[in-house]
Structure 1
């Protein structure tokens, strides 16, 4: 049951939040209102009266003699338990301040333009609680209508410090969010003016908080990624299936291997034991029907990690089978990966769930709730030069969670950047804390952020806290990079892999041919939120001797089959002597090399010159964009990537992809 407004305002007043002076009247005797200053506001309260203005339970601008008549009219139409009479606040900027418990991430604070503008403009910002004072100020500054807070068209600025104090009282450390049984809580409107703020309307819909789970001791996941030996449960002696496919993958990887089969002595040439109880392994993959999985896990005592590949659990409406599976894993003392997941990939540990052999061991990790997408990122990423340390698919995350894995990977000596693909974080609050604690770059790709299906909420706050906006707040507060698609996930990870050890400082310079491409490059970087700094004042003189006109940033420099391969590096070096640029993005039109020339060697020569420039500029991060690369003969792009990768230069096919990656580098505080 929702608390009545005067009860919520008593709570606010005790917390130091200014509220209008008022009195509560249980009948139609309004004598106690004589101590209040007109004009007055009359509000009815009672069961179901949540949105009072929608049902005519609010009257403004009243005198004392108007109260009884207005109250009688409300009582005739509504189920009324009593009335709240308040002094009417002076006009000002109307804001909304609200709290809601997100199912995945817990308490979320929202603020924005309030009153009649809340639904009309939906100009709001959110952060996960607890917020910092910097969070509060960034929230206000991010509003499209923020100018009215700081003084606009001759109006005086509001007391922004008072607004920040209110946000901290509600959503900061020790704030109301910690003390409320939080379903939905909303102050709308809060009137802000030059002399402070006042909460003129308030509502609270309590809801019981989630029962805290028992803390689990930290797990060492090294045996998951580098097992001494692996068992496969579910391979057949008569009909090849998924289990047999994985036996083949593991045999090719060379990891010590055993099959689990009730009767066979061997399966597809792999020695077999009758149950997991007889398997001396660190990791077991289970590929049997969902109904049999719990039985298999009950025999897994002594096996540190069991991955259930099988589907058919909570994701298909069978949470009972998933609960039984988790109970079986706990009884056996094993950690459960999945169910409904593909497994683990780690070249260093000969772990794999994809065919085609193991790629090079590297320093990029991936946590994915989708096995199929993880396989794509591995294969496409390796084709583009990514080298992985650890890849793990978690499926339904019934036991091992993304947050646990991220905490471990953040301390893993073999990992320097982590990507995550998530749909349902399961442990949102723990994941948020892990993201904030991680000191290495983290890239987030989230499925299902569109918020297509949003349940009706009793408050405006509840209606405006969508999955997409919560994830944006998570990224903003944690420093993680939120990307929109798989290609950008791979591209940003490639940037961190190439430039993770280069802590460059300075602006962004874009250099390449073609006026139109330069204009579009400027648009791409602007869309990604990256500012292109102007050329230094002495650029015309510095470039004149090289035959280049200092036209601006992006800078147009001829690059083609008949051009001199070293010209662009010389131009960059000349400019860097006058102004530091932390990022230099070089783009080339690959199509021109094969339309106006007949050999790949001039393109390779350009790539080698760029690689030499990177070696000579350790404090600058060079990124190469090979526009129209599909116009090159087969193998040419791969060779350009190989030359660039050897020098620690990431390569992108489009300016848009490069802009997203460079923006990510800056967001993580290394630009």
Structure 2
């Protein structure tokens, strides 16, 4: 790793349009006075060389020097102090001191998975203590740059605070684009980038000037930095249709003596009613569990082979699979268990056989329309929801719980260690899949994070992602503040912001968001953060307002003409009408009132989302029949059927208080009309947020 001298870095970045102070260098204090003769005080002196990466910490910076002579004297004192610490500078940089302003940090590092990442934040104490920063993956757009500044908690300092003048935000945006935009500094560095940092950039009414610059590269000197970076290797193009709808399946690992995972998968395919050619691989036995056997994968005449043998044997099995398009290795014990050599050998075997490898350490594929399964029992009905998961167990839970709630899946792929087939590849396939409308992701290590970013950006289908390990150890902090403030969690948040996907934090929220996006996929709701909440009176409405406000949504007031119409319905007698709107809901109330009230409101204000909530407990505390609750659900469904540009969401609170079967009946009734159902406001808020971020309703 090479550390470039500050003055060389500043000379180089000025060619990208980044303003830097006027300055000069000198090899020693004696020559510095002459070097500084043409500069206008006040001046700054800095020493540079080995051991001086953090100059301030080393005492290698002096400010407010009133003359060239004072600068030379300061350099001499600095040299003596550094010498006492056995540090010998290569030279000294003297510059004109920039006028005071708001200090901003702009930096970039190369993330191991996602490539170059840009950071911007407020400098000084804001960087050191409060970590008030924002991230984006490079290259950024002007919209990205402005969004980064908007995310800063201290943004008011840039706009002018307590009578202070506003900074030139356009100049700061230009700095961000010069560093992280197309054709900018980061792109020019290419794979040579390790870390780059401007800290601080001083921003004022007249512009933005980088007064310190730090660059760490892999090896190249500054004069070679502008060379064309090496291109990313091209990803193989694979048609994955036969992965999800194989004409034949071979299972390796079934036994006549010690039934194991291979036998389990044979029975899964039988229970699912697989209609293609199903064979087991065994060298001597003619059949296992009623399934015919072939002696090896060689000449097995299938599209998909499932391997469930010990890790040490998997590579040999895969070498026999030439002519089979896809081989899935269920077995674990590879890189995830500290055995990278076994995984490398497995990948080499797949390449030699000319097959695409799914896994290792994964459960396989689920596709009701194509007959694929890795779960017991009959398959669910085909649907429009696809999932890519690095966890087979979690994918199985999403399928089973989701189908229990009424969701239907098109294609689910588990990829485990992703040694060959990556989530990014499958995402590109699903983007063009006519049978898929909504995509869910569960990822831990995407292997090709940059490819994932590039696959997500042009994607027009809504995506919801659950990421494991976001709260664990972040990326290693290297030499800069930037390196210390870029970690797993923040990079994923940056990717979500740029790609327009929704990040969730639980399996239940993943299922809930996929449900809403699927049911409302064809609804062209207006953009914007506005929501209308309507339900029974009491604290629930107040808490609902808190939940949706925290989620970034706006409960805008009801327009005056609408309130007049609502009073005509008998609402608001003796009180104001507001959002959340309180209406009578219960066993004695008119179930049609919710439909009539919302219809009147939407005639005057186009809310994109209406959240209607009920308290199931009240229906059975003050009544003895499920019919009033079902009648209310039918009214909500009728409301959704008459609205083409509004998403209706139903929250049934305290549903455990309903008799057995009632919650299922409510959910089924609502789904018939395209209304998703949730048990609490928090789950609904996550799903509604996903809807607003989707292609039909980006907030």
Classify the TM-score, shorter chain.
over 0.9
| Residue of structure 1 in register with 2:224 after alignment | none
SS in 2 for 1:68: helix
Distance in structure 1 (CA, Å) of the matches to 2:427 and 2:404: 25
Distance in structure 2 (CA, Å) of the matches to 1:459 and 1:186: 7
Cα-Cα RMSD:
1.5
Matches within 5 A, 1:189-588: 189-207=200-218, 214-255=233-274, 256=276, 257-505=278-526, 507-549=530-572, 551-588=577-614
- Residue ranges of structure 1 left out of the alignment (5+ in a row): none
| Residue of structure 2 in register with 1:72 after alignment | 76
Distance in structure 2 (CA, Å) of the matches to 1:404 and 1:286: 22
Distance in structure 2 (CA, Å) of the matches to 1:429 and 1:370: 21
Contact 2:475 2:488 in 1 (8 A): no
SS in 1 for 2:56: helix
SS in 2 for 1:581: coil
SS in 2 for 1:348: coil
- Does 2:675 match 1:649? yes
Distance in structure 1 (CA, Å) of the matches to 2:300 and 2:52: 64
Distance in structure 2 (CA, Å) of the matches to 1:462 and 1:158: 26
* Deviation at residue 289 of structure 1 after TM alignment: 0.3
Contact 1:451 1:466 in 2 (8 A): no
* Deviation at residue 236 of structure 1 after TM alignment: 0.8
| Residue of structure 2 in register with 1:131 after alignment | 140
* Deviation at residue 630 of structure 1 after TM alignment: 1.2
Contact 1:510 1:554 in 2 (8 A): yes
SS in 2 for 1:276: coil
* Deviation at residue 494 of structure 1 after TM alignment: 0.4
Greater shift in the superposed pair: 534-543 or 655-664: 534-543
Matches within 5 A, 1:79-158: 79-158=88-167
Distance in structure 2 (CA, Å) of the matches to 1:212 and 1:93: 38
Q: How big is each residue's C-alpha offset from its partner over 1:13-57, in whole Å with a ceiling of 9 and x where there is no partner?
A: 222211111111112222221111122111111112111000101
Contact 2:254 2:288 in 1 (8 A): yes
SS in 2 for 1:625: strand
| Residue of structure 2 in register with 1:160 after alignment | 169
Contact 2:548 2:685 in 1 (8 A): yes
SS in 1 for 2:426: helix
Q: How big is each residue's C-alpha offset from its partner over 1:359-415, in whole Å with a ceiling of 9 and x where there is no partner?
A: 111000000001111011111111111100000000000000000000000100100
Distance in structure 1 (CA, Å) of the matches to 2:587 and 2:363: 46
The runs of at least 4 aligned residues of structure 1 exceeding 4 Å deviation read: 208-213
Contact 2:272 2:377 in 1 (8 A): no
SS in 2 for 1:349: coil
Classify 1:269/1:178 alpha carbon distance in 2 versus 1 (closer, same or farther; 3 Å): same
SS in 2 for 1:119: helix
Contact 2:460 2:695 in 1 (8 A): no
Distance in structure 1 (CA, Å) of the matches to 2:308 and 2:219: 39
| Residue of structure 1 in register with 2:35 after alignment | 32
TM-score (norm 1): 0.98
* Deviation at residue 504 of structure 1 after TM alignment: 1.4
- Does 2:15 match 1:14? yes
Classify 1:446/1:670 alpha carbon distance in 2 versus 1 (closer, same or farther; 3 Å): same
| Residue of structure 1 in register with 2:185 after alignment | 176
* Deviation at residue 576 of structure 1 after TM alignment: 1.9
- Residue among 188, 194, 203 paired with 2:199: 188
| Residue of structure 2 in register with 1:60 after alignment | 63
Distance in structure 1 (CA, Å) of the matches to 2:392 and 2:68: 68
* Deviation at residue 80 of structure 1 after TM alignment: 1.1
Classify 1:193/1:115 alpha carbon distance in 2 versus 1 (closer, same or farther; 3 Å): same
SS in 2 for 1:496: helix
TM-score (norm 2): 0.94
Distance in structure 2 (CA, Å) of the matches to 1:606 and 1:439: 35
Q: How big is each residue's C-alpha offset from its partner over 1:142-174, in whole Å with a ceiling of 9 and x where there is no partner?
A: 211111112221111111111111111111110
Contact 1:492 1:660 in 2 (8 A): yes
SS in 1 for 2:690: helix
- Does 2:626 match 1:600? yes
SS in 2 for 1:386: coil
Distance in structure 1 (CA, Å) of the matches to 2:436 and 2:625: 39
